[in-house]
Amino acid sequence: MRVLAVGAHPDDIEILCAGTLLRYRQEGHEVVICVATNGEQGHFVLKPEELREIRHQEAQASANLCGAELIWMDIPDEFIYHDHETRMAFIEMVRKARPGVVITHNPEDYHMDHRVVSELVFVSTFMATLPHVETKSPPTARLPVIYYMDSLAGAQFIPTEYVDITPVIEQKIAMMECHQSQVRWLKEHDNIDITDFIRVMGRFRGLSAGVMYAEGFRRLEAWGRGTVKRLLP
């Protein structure tokens, strides 16, 4: 199976679902990580163009640790809109990834970029199947199942499924630590120790799932997206 995880910013995937992607890889599935925006606004000192390159390198290093393919869309940070050009780019991204399962942001998440990406993923996974919507890659054959990943700190999110990430929690932390520009930024800008944040969040969801560490998800309930099988690891 091919699994596509789509995050708005470099490090969103690491914070919210990297443990699950590592579990997928352990089971032999192919994983594609898509980063929609380039994260160029996430620093006090570094100019956007310099930070953009750093964050691309950090995202690639993290994907390498997971054994995942990286799709870097390079949309300006904080300036992603659901317009025609961006929708077409997302359709092409989905066709390139050709996923059976897609993981992306909760539609009600705290950041507008997250909400826009969630909406674009919902629309583009459908439109990717339409043969007369032309992009570089051929249409996909079917609708993928979509799972929404947790919100930061679990705000306004009640999971319906969990993945035990206890065996891979240190690898998940290592993926996050590839993003050193953001480990520092989050400490300086938000007073957040992000690796501690990840452990606390994983432990919190683990309490509900009956394991040490877990990640929580909610499957999109919509016609054509259903399944009688558990597709999470």
- pLDDT band at 43, cuts 50/70/90? confident
> Residue 44 has what pLDDT?
84
Give strand pairing partners of 101.
3, 145
On the 0-12 / 13-18 / 19+ scale of CB atoms within 10 A, 61 is middle
Number of H helices, E strands in the chain: 8, 7
Q: Domains plus CATH for the chain?
A: 2-219 (3.40.50.10320)
| pLDDT tens column, 68-81 | 999 999 999 999 99
Token duo for residue 170:
């240190």
Query: Which DSSP string do the residues of 162-214 spell out, in sequence order?
Result: EEE-GGGHHHHHHHHHT-HHHHHHHHHHH---HHHHHHHHHHHHHHHHTSSSE
Give strand pairing partners of 216.
162
pTM recorded for the entire structure: 0.97
> Residue 175 has what pLDDT?
98
Q: What percent of the chain has pLDDT over 90?
A: 94
Cβ atoms of 189 and 44 within 8 Å: the answer is yes
| pLDDT tens column, 129-144 | 999 999 999 999 999 9
